[in-house]
Structure 1
Amino acid sequence: MTTDKTGAISTWLDEQAPAMLALLGELVDIDSGSYDKAGVDRVGARLVRFYAEHLIDVTTVAVPDFGDILRATTGPVRHSAGRRNYLMMGHRDTVFGKGEAARRPFSTRDGRAYGPGVADMKAGLVMNAFVMAALKRFAPEIPVVALMTGDEEIGSATARPYIEADAKCAVAVFNSEPGRVSGNIVTGRKGGFSYRFDITGKAAHSGVNFTEGASAIAELAHKINALHALTRVEDGMTLNVGIVGGGVSVNTIAPTASGEVDVRFVTNAQRDWLIEAIDAIMANSSVLGTCTKAVRDSDFFPLVPTPLSDGLTMRYLQVARNIGLDIAGEFTGGCADSGFAASAGAPTICGVGPVGGKAHTEEEYIEIATLAQRARVAALTICAMAQ
């Protein structure tokens, strides 16, 4: 890759900063909660139009209940002969319900942009789109895939097979979740899943027929203690029963109870151990006459650094330093699709999107200047690796 080409890419991306902000505003003003298929697909349609304007092909995988999966490609992308492609990832769904965009539409002030999903992760989608456009224009020989999914906030059940398939063919994966408030990227993430468990007991009058009952709430208490006892903070494994319910009246032995537990871990070996331990807790009853049904969902793999991903990190951070950014990699307890890519064996880094904070809240924001800035770093890193 010649200096002239990389210079042209940098100049063009800097010039596109107003267009990036305008596209971001359009996307933020479209409600696209995970269960709002029509809204998620509207965000996708706007991105497809952008890609078409830049002569970039996009294929669509229809998804019945959630947002369709979109896949933009530029350069000689292949799915054979080993790792060849560069993969940029992003999700179009948010945690916000219908009406949120109208209630607090896209806005800017004091160098920041605000609105539902602005950081997590519509700014990353915009950045990826402009990186793809720059590479199409100035480096069409580089094979790059931009994957745009629709159900990340609820566990990526439909997206996961497509993420893994593209990751298996990628020499490097860039997940454009927001950069940290510190400006750093993410080089390690926890994995996580949750269990919903429903306990059935036997009702009885708590004064007249106490011994005839089997308390589901008492069994719930035993399970909460057993689950929390699996926590090993020093090893990065945490369990939190955050939602509970049960019973029908204060003077009735509870016939039903339920709970939901959030589980976090840092390695796939820990994940396997925790699943086995939790399944054993759910299968055994401490209170005679109760039984439990449990379902595991929101199953994210961890992003575990490897020598290859460390090399990708070093390359990315060097490019950042070359344009005057003094940043580093850091670990976070949050989950993301990058864990699926990493678990498929691809060198993966995350949090390479524009810098932002307070995701999932009304104060969610990005630093506007980092839209073009982080686009430059991603594009130039891909160019450097493709030499």
Structure 2
Amino acid sequence: MTDIADADARLLKWFDNHQGEMVSLLEELVNTDSGSADKAGVDKAGSVLIRFLNDAGISTSVVHDEKRGDAIVATVQQSVASNEQPIVLLGHRDTVFEKGEASRRPFHVRDGRAFGPGVNDMKPGVVVNAFMLAAFKELGGLRTPLTGLFTGDEEIASPFSRPIIERHANGAVAVFNTEPARPNGNIVTRRKGAVFSVLEIFGKAAHSGVNFFDGASAINELADKIVRLKGVTDERKGITLNVGLVRGGQTVNTVAPYAAAEIDLRFVEQQDRASALSRILEITEDCRTAETSAKLTIKGEFLPLEETSASKALFDIYKTAAAHLGIQVEGELTGGCSDSGFASAQGAPTLCGVGPVGGKSHSPLEYVELPTLLDRAKVLALAIHRVSAERCQCSGANFIQH
């Protein structure tokens, strides 16, 4: 039997012994195209993970979807009879890159940084989660079940995976989302929520020279609405509205019968969603160009990751684990969204950005600081072990075995 310090030491040594294998799995995943719209590619990346987990003696179950990448679930626990609620690891294997990007920019390492599509967001985090399950499986497991959820549609707001995430997060002891840590090394304790929508304007076509005044320009009405939509942004509250795409018209000599804009609304607190969306709908319905009409369609959304007393306590455990390894971290707010908001909304203490350190996501310059693949895996392993120990109010001797 060992005490908790010895158990921690065994965990750290295990990861040290598997560093090369972690890098190899990361390389294989990065070199596998898995853009969100490429179901076959996302599922191919999933098959790489299933093979790894099965080789580690961990069974997996697959939740199938016809259009999006399947969700993979794997759980490690000491006893199949355990009725403890789990600690959940979240990670998505889809990327924003088109098919063929992996062959154009394959995994490579330069000056301690690894490059390639998805090398930061978030294939290193997926690797960390897979090895986390393998470590606890080989070392004897936890009294608290450890569940890994590997999804395939996060980059498009998880239309398929959201209810699966919510189901596993409901009642969870803790949720760790291994999205990348910030470039400064901090993790994410708060994230903005978002609503992605399309504003369509329907006008009336007419020849712009012969019968100009018979037409009703959808473009003119959209332009007016865009100016008014700027007023939804409230810097003090952290609410932003961005019109990111605009399209419309028929020909240069036709009064435009149709126009559309795609809107990105972000907010720090869920309560601000309702007020901001209400204002957008008011502007949508108030058409000031005669004979035009408008329609707003929500295409997807993320919930914010809001800080709670429980998530603060979880961060304290994580920060202490990091300090044990000489790593100083703080928690911060980011405007980017993730699946962590769905988990947090279920009442589960949730931390995000606990993956390796990197930056420049969604771009050809995307990178991960390769040494942090091991470092952040170790921090997370210690944090999980201590969360489970506190949950069960017993020593590490009951978790990590000889």
Contact 1:96 1:116 in 2 (8 A): yes
Q: Map 1:247-266 onto structure 2 (within 5 A).
A: 247-266=249-268
TM-score by length of 1: 0.96
What displacement does 1:256 show?
A: 1.1
In structure 2, the residue matched to 1:113 is 114
How far does the alpha carbon of each residue in 1:143-164 deviate from its partner, in whole angstroms, 9 at most, with x for none? 1010000000011010000111
How far does the alpha carbon of each residue in 1:65-102 deviate from its partner, in whole angstroms, 9 at most, with x for none? 01100001000689997x72100000010001111001
In structure 2, the residue matched to 1:366 is 368
SS of the equivalent of 1:34 reads coil
Taking the aligned partners of 1:308 and 1:374, their CA distance within structure 2 comes to 22
Taking the aligned partners of 1:293 and 1:65, their CA distance within structure 2 comes to 26
SS of the equivalent of 2:12 reads helix
Contact 2:191 2:334 in 1 (8 A): yes
In structure 2, the residue matched to 1:223 is 225
Change (3 A) 1:78 1:208: farther
Is 1:240 matched with 2:226?
Answer: no
In structure 2, the residue matched to 1:135 is 136
In structure 2, the residue matched to 1:350 is 352
Q: Map 1:87-166 onto structure 2 (within 5 A).
A: 87-141=88-142, 142-166=144-168
In structure 2, the residue matched to 1:33 is 35
What displacement does 1:283 show?
A: 2.5
Q: Which moved more, 1:191-200 or 1:1-10?
A: 1-10
In structure 1, the residue matched to 2:286 is 284
Q: In the alignment, which of 45, 60, 63 is matched to residue 61 of structure 1? A: 63
Q: Map 1:39-54 onto structure 2 (within 5 A).
A: 39-54=41-56
Taking the aligned partners of 2:195 and 2:58, their CA distance within structure 1 comes to 36
Taking the aligned partners of 1:249 and 1:368, their CA distance within structure 2 comes to 51
Contact 1:191 1:265 in 2 (8 A): yes
In structure 1, the residue matched to 2:4 is 2
Q: One-letter code of the match for 1:42?
A: K
Gaps of 5+ in 1: none
Taking the aligned partners of 1:337 and 1:60, their CA distance within structure 2 comes to 19
Contact 2:171 2:347 in 1 (8 A): no
Q: One-letter code of the match for 1:133?
A: A
Q: Map 1:3-18 onto structure 2 (within 5 A).
A: 3-18=5-20
What displacement does 1:276 show?
A: 2.2
Q: Which moved more, 1:5-14 or 1:196-205?
A: 196-205
Contact 1:198 1:256 in 2 (8 A): yes
Taking the aligned partners of 2:126 and 2:67, their CA distance within structure 1 comes to 21
Taking the aligned partners of 2:312 and 2:361, their CA distance within structure 1 comes to 27
Contact 1:117 1:360 in 2 (8 A): yes
Taking the aligned partners of 1:76 and 1:206, their CA distance within structure 2 comes to 74
Contact 1:155 1:298 in 2 (8 A): yes
Taking the aligned partners of 1:199 and 1:253, their CA distance within structure 2 comes to 13
Taking the aligned partners of 2:38 and 2:202, their CA distance within structure 1 comes to 33
What displacement does 1:229 show?
A: 1.0
What displacement does 1:205 show?
A: 2.9
- Consecutive aligned runs of 4 or more in structure 1 exceeding 6 Å deviation: 77-81
Taking the aligned partners of 2:105 and 2:273, their CA distance within structure 1 comes to 39
In structure 1, the residue matched to 2:216 is 214
Q: One-letter code of the match for 1:123?
A: P
Contact 2:92 2:150 in 1 (8 A): yes
How far does the alpha carbon of each residue in 1:117-163 deviate from its partner, in whole angstroms, 9 at most, with x for none? 01101000001111111111224133101000000001101000011
Q: One-letter code of the match for 2:190?
A: G
Change (3 A) 1:34 1:169: same
SS of the equivalent of 2:246 reads strand
Taking the aligned partners of 1:175 and 1:137, their CA distance within structure 2 comes to 22
SS of the equivalent of 1:354 reads coil
Contact 1:131 1:376 in 2 (8 A): no
SS of the equivalent of 1:68 reads strand
In structure 1, the residue matched to 2:87 is 86
Taking the aligned partners of 2:94 and 2:252, their CA distance within structure 1 comes to 42
Q: Which moved more, 1:318-327 or 1:201-210?
A: 201-210
Taking the aligned partners of 1:159 and 1:22, their CA distance within structure 2 comes to 27
Change (3 A) 1:289 1:27: same
In structure 2, the residue matched to 1:198 is 200
Contact 2:74 2:149 in 1 (8 A): yes
Contact 2:96 2:362 in 1 (8 A): yes
In structure 1, the residue matched to 2:309 is 307
What displacement does 1:286 show?
A: 1.5
Change (3 A) 1:193 1:63: same
Cα RMSD of the aligned pairs, angstroms, is 1.7
Q: Which moved more, 1:102-111 or 1:208-217?
A: 208-217
Contact 2:78 2:140 in 1 (8 A): no
